[in-house]
Structure 1
Amino acid sequence: MKKFLGATLLCALSFGAFAQNEISYNVSFPNAIHHEAEISMSITDVPSGTLKVRMSRSSPGRYATHEFGKNVYNFKAFDSNGKALAIKRSAGDVYEIPSHGSTVKVTYTLFGNWIDGTYAGFDESHAHMNIPATFAFPVGMDARPRLVQFKYNEKQNWKVATQLKPLANNTFYAANLQYFMDSPIEIADYKTAKWEVKNKDGKLQTIHLITHSNDTQKTIDNYAEMLKKMVDEHVAVWGEFPTYDYGNYYFLDDVYPDNAGDGMEHRNSTSIVQRTPKIEGYETNLLGTFSHEYFHSWNVERLRPKTLEPFNFEHSNISDELWLAEGFTQYYGSLLLTRAGLKTVDNAAQTFEGMVNAVLNSPGAKNYSPIDASRYAVFADAGVAIDQTNKSNIFLSYYTYGAATALALDLRLRSEFKLTLDDYMRALWKAHGKPEIPYTVQDLQKVLSELTKSPSFANEFFSSYIYGTKKNDYAKLLLNAGFVLRKANPGKAYAGFGRATAVDGKVTLPQTLIGTPAYEAGLDVDDVILTIDDKKVNGLADLNAVTDAHRPGDVVAITYLYRGEQKTTELTFSENPMLEIVSIEKTGGTLTPAMQSFRANWLNSQVKSR
């Protein structure tokens, strides 16, 4: 960080300026080539009684549990004289030290070889750290400040990028555990671009693009210009920037084909991991993650559900509001790229098409509410279970469900109240985001009621579409903007086999969905299709050929293997339920001036209206 920030940003604070109860870490990478980091933690003013030290089981931005303790070994503890202390390991990620003095030093080795927003990765090219996956912490000392110092003298070109406050000697500061855990770190020979932005109060802040990739500086500079356009559209929604701590926001971008991929939001930064050879040539495809995660610097990081406050690092965090926290962010992530001119109107229509198909055709949305979907995140959000679930039939991602809900609310506000979803987000920001007052679902309904001056509308919307499973009339709503929602394959037969796989002449079914012909025929996961309509099935083309040769309502006989036993059933084809969104002018219809104006006000740039 010293090389990047320069001496002018080195904080005047010194170790002595703190209350002397900070928890201090030292991190080095002597065996980075084999994906190891060596970490020590010094704790002063340790109270009497058993000292409990643990690794986290959850992470900001994640909602399911993640067993970070599995990559910790060589765990040791010492007193102030360097004498080894006895340790009792009471759980896989919990270490208890019964007898100790007022100062305890803990050391351990951490293995990390998974580059995404959740875990840690170390190699000869960089150190990539999500804090909960990296640092143990003493239980019951969350309010204490954190100091972390990095040592990598053998890697002269490395430098640190993080939202943590920089001090001298390659040391960084966090006021407490919550802030520390929310501050990812990238150490590498990265390239950077930055620009200043001015907030409503006239104060300047700096946005940094930190990129560890095989790109030229020119590519990074050009990409930063694209991000500037995106950022402008985000600010136009909210009306102002958040106040970034220490005046800086960081896009920490790691690009390499073998990365795991991910995007993870944080208070003043985001960790973006992408699986392309480099940025150059993939610029537009990579923007979606940037846009989604940047929107989170308002929505989630400051406009925050009460269910996530304070964040619990010992187990999964269940929330009723992820349909808004993640889903509305998903909606805007795509929409704002269109407004910025970085995606086309056709791109936007395709994105909306995916949302509408999911919410109208998936059993998870038909039978469960957005709140139900939000609660299921503790199991669905990259959780650790390996057994099969019935997720396809009981769950629609709160990202998609929430985005479809945002789409409907935006169009309804525009058509029924001459308002927009932007107005709603600004109202939420004023009431809860800027003052950082965590909200409940009831608070969200109250703000909508006050904005529209229609308690009945707010009550109907929340009772039907948030607590309930009723679906909006998307065809009617989209037509206001000159878009036609229609069957993509009218009159075409549909079996509902899903993503069947063909290996060595055997076609095997995935889990079938409630309501599909395949489900109603009693077919399910791992069934092997032998014949359909007396025609032998050796590959996916055979499945498709039989389907294409029939009409909705036709009945065919199927033979299949169920756990090695040959069985028969009958399947009745239905009409293909897939929908498409097409601009009315492409259907031969007329784009009226009212439709054209509605579409422009929705999808065109809003920067001038700030």
Structure 2
Amino acid sequence: MKRFQLFLLLIVSTLALGQGKVQYKLDLTKLENDRLEVIVKTPKFKQKEVVYALPKIVPGTYANYDFGRFVQDFKALDAQGKNLKFKKTGPNTYQISNASQMAELRYFVHDTWDSPEISGDYVFEPAGTSFQQDSLFALNTHAMLGYFIGHEKIQVQLSIDKPKTMYGASSIQNKSHSSTDQFEAAYYQELIDAPLMYANPDTVSFPLANANILISVYSPNKMCSAAQVAEQIKPLLEAQKKYLGGQLPVSNYAFIIVLSDNIKNGSYGALEHAQSSFYYLPEGNIQTLAETIREVCAHEFFHIVTPLNIHSEEIGNFNFLEPKMSKHLWLYEGLTEYAAHHVQLKYQITDLKKFMSTFENKWEVMNVQFDRKLPFTVMSEKVLDKYKDEYGNVYQKGAWLGFGLDLTLRKLSQGKYGTQEMMRDLAQYYGPHQSFKDNELFDQLVKITQKPELKSFFQKYVEGKEEIPVADWLHSIGYEIQEFSASPIKSLGFDFQSLNVNAETHRAVINSEDGINEFGRMLGLQAKDELVFVNQLSFSLENFSMNAAKVLKDIQLGEILEVEIARPKGNGIYETVRLKAPFQTSMGSAPTSFVPQKNPSDAQLELRKQWMNSIP
């Protein structure tokens, strides 16, 4: 009966839409006023009206971007090229009348990296687009191509005319051997999940287990090459292959890397996709970039497990306009971040001292910058609005949750079973086309692991407000937290780790009251203040570190410290405030480190060994 109902639904869907597919066309040789034209050949619709939409948000970004705001000069045309009536019904949607007569859409799009005239929230570069004639076209196609609401699952095709000197790198395969590249996908989400980069070719490809790996690099000043990147990450990928059981859940994977020589606001990073990842990093030579590339690639590559093979219905049936967020960011980002570090420890790419130093830093950042008692599931569900400033904690507390869960599982199984094995078993149960229900995941994990004790773990530390027992977890493997005596320190009134960057104003922001020390409170600093000048020295991002060091070096006790800040008043309006106070030192918080216990028990040492050297 279910098969019959599904068959009927497919017939109804086909009749409503008519025959054909959505065909997109771009011409990279025709850049007009820093815009590209998008041509959409439409299938034959039966209904009177259809809605064409661009995404408000896309998977993995956890921010509302409204990509429709980059669209201009929108037209709907019939087969004779005559205009059809349409109505813009929102920032991302166009309702088209007489849809049965429609043959194509035409509109222009601005790139997101360099369009200051387009108002709205800053778009994280790995989620956006860049159009640089004769040098680079970075194409996250979700920022350019839309879909017809109700018809998201029909076949799509993308044709791209390219300059002769450029090569298009992507995880999606080019079906053409001419100057016009052609890409096909079963449906819209599959197409936009494969970003493209067009530039002068600098690529390396090699096999890894059952998959082919592509690395493509754009370095404007030729400071770093794809071959150098490949040399750095090959040992890491080999380790990750072993970590995942010797086989990968993909047949090909692309690392698309843009290195930028522009001064940025600090928001470098990457965005994961099912079979690729897109990177935006500061340009440098391989010596300066090696560690960053390894750390970021380790995290992004592990996303082939989550969300490709393991994801909730909210991701499997993603709503690009009115998304419902899953409550399991601890799994998608936190456990992925933990695995990215654990794999390097397990296969001797890093050592235990470095691993502990990394998690020591995560613990400090978690305690200073984020709400320690906010349930992670609540933060995840409301990450787009109420708790968007808490998102960064997925890489801090989220990684610690992975660490603690791994140790808990291994302790319960005499070291034989941890998160590494748990994720493999979970992937066997679900898969690319089988989503889990958000509210059932914890029960499913208890069932799969056969460890009823996990229910308490999730209730306390993921769903609940209980602080994670870092000291207990460390103690289980023979480590302890060592505190040193606090001492007077020079500061400008705030903890540097408490700073964020405002992407709109390009200024350093004091993130929270917790980051303001006694001297800062005497000055009158407040959370969300943005730094402009200190003692008449500019604190713009380009010279922030240099001028902060100069002020702290030169100022003496009792001398007047003057700080000019921009204080937000709402609606993008700032008040200039000048604060003065006689300089004084503050008592720094007692520094801590994670150190081995002097006389660990045999059980502690055995669990440490099992955790570090668990069976592949």
1:3 aligns with none
1:9 aligns with none
Is contact 2:76-2:102 (8 Å) kept? no
1:550 aligns with none
1:163 aligns with 171
CA distance in 1, matches of 2:157, 2:254: 20
- Determine which of 405, 409, 412 is the counterpart of 2:408: 412
Q: 1:145 to 1:566 in 2, by over 3 A?
A: closer
State the Cα deviation string for residues 112-166 of structure 1 (Å, max 9, x = none): 15282211111121211112101122222212111010112xx212122223343
State the Cα deviation string for residues 427-446 of structure 1 (Å, max 9, x = none): 22222247733243532343
State the Cα deviation string for residues 273-331 of structure 1 (Å, max 9, x = none): 21123545422221111111100011112211233231111134412001111111111
Q: 1:46 to 1:372 in 2, by over 3 A?
A: same
Tell me the SS of whatever aligns to 2:241.
Answer: helix
State the Cα deviation string for residues 344-373 of structure 1 (Å, max 9, x = none): 4332112111222244555511x3111122
Provide the aligned C-alpha RMSD in A.
Answer: 4.0
Q: 1:209 to 1:339 in 2, by over 3 A?
A: farther
Q: Does 1:273 align with 2:272?
A: no
- Determine which of 180, 183, 186 is the counterpart of 1:172: 183
Is contact 1:24-1:147 (8 Å) kept? yes
Tell me the SS of whatever aligns to 1:171.
Answer: strand
Tell me the SS of whatever aligns to 1:296.
Answer: helix
Cα shift at 1:210: 1.9
CA distance in 1, matches of 2:275, 2:343: 20
2:13 aligns with none
Cα shift at 1:458: 1.6
Is contact 2:312-2:326 (8 Å) kept? yes
CA distance in 1, matches of 2:206, 2:578: 66
1:252 aligns with 256
1:510 aligns with 510
Is contact 1:60-1:181 (8 Å) kept? no
| Matching of residues 461-480 of structure 1 within 5 Å | 461-480=457-476
Is contact 2:208-2:238 (8 Å) kept? no
Is contact 2:59-2:315 (8 Å) kept? no
CA distance in 1, matches of 2:554, 2:526: 16
Structure 1 residues without counterparts, runs of 5 or longer? 1-18, 199-203, 384-390, 502-507, 531-537, 548-558
Q: 1:458 to 1:254 in 2, by over 3 A?
A: same
Tell me the SS of whatever aligns to 2:51.
Answer: strand
- Determine which of 349, 352, 364 is the counterpart of 1:345: 352
Q: 1:434 to 1:363 in 2, by over 3 A?
A: closer
Cα shift at 1:206: 1.1
Is contact 2:316-2:433 (8 Å) kept? no
- Determine which of 212, 218, 225 is the counterpart of 1:206: 212
| Matching of residues 213-228 of structure 1 within 5 Å | 213=219, 219-228=225-234
Q: Does 1:581 align with 2:594?
A: yes
2:446 aligns with 448
Is contact 1:445-1:462 (8 Å) kept? no
Q: Does 1:185 align with 2:196?
A: yes
Tell me the SS of whatever aligns to 1:397.
Answer: helix
CA distance in 1, matches of 2:344, 2:319: 34
CA distance in 2, matches of 1:511, 1:148: 43
| Matching of residues 90-105 of structure 1 within 5 Å | 90-105=89-104
State the Cα deviation string for residues 395-417 of structure 1 (Å, max 9, x = none): 76223221111111122223343
CA distance in 2, matches of 1:205, 1:24: 29
- Determine which of 230, 239, 264 is the counterpart of 2:245: 239
CA distance in 2, matches of 1:546, 1:423: 57
- Determine which of 196, 200, 206 is the counterpart of 1:195: 206
CA distance in 2, matches of 1:332, 1:582: 22
Q: 1:494 to 1:306 in 2, by over 3 A?
A: farther
TM-score (norm 2): 0.77
CA distance in 1, matches of 2:409, 2:366: 19
TM-score (norm 1): 0.77
Q: 1:369 to 1:578 in 2, by over 3 A?
A: farther
Q: Return the letter of the residue paired with 1:50.
A: E
Is contact 1:55-1:135 (8 Å) kept? yes
- Determine which of 477, 480, 485 is the counterpart of 2:481: 485
Q: 1:435 to 1:122 in 2, by over 3 A?
A: closer
State the Cα deviation string for residues 210-264 of structure 1 (Å, max 9, x = none): 22235879953343243232123223333253442xx321111222232763311
Is contact 2:194-2:273 (8 Å) kept? yes
Q: 1:210 to 1:20 in 2, by over 3 A?
A: farther
Q: Does 1:498 align with 2:495?
A: yes
Work out which structure has the larger RCO, using CA pairs closer than 8 Å and 6 or more positions apart in sequence: 1
Q: Does 1:401 align with 2:397?
A: yes
Q: 1:363 to 1:498 in 2, by over 3 A?
A: same
User: Which one is further off, 367-376 or 338-347?
Assistant: 338-347
CA distance in 2, matches of 1:376, 1:488: 38
Q: 1:109 to 1:511 in 2, by over 3 A?
A: closer
Q: 1:433 to 1:487 in 2, by over 3 A?
A: farther
Q: Return the letter of the residue paired with 1:407.
A: F
Cα shift at 1:35: 3.4
CA distance in 2, matches of 1:515, 1:445: 38
CA distance in 2, matches of 1:222, 1:96: 49
Is contact 1:22-1:145 (8 Å) kept? yes
CA distance in 2, matches of 1:59, 1:515: 32
User: Which one is further off, 248-257 or 371-380?
Assistant: 371-380
Q: Return the letter of the residue paired with 2:360.
A: E
Tell me the SS of whatever aligns to 1:446.
Answer: helix
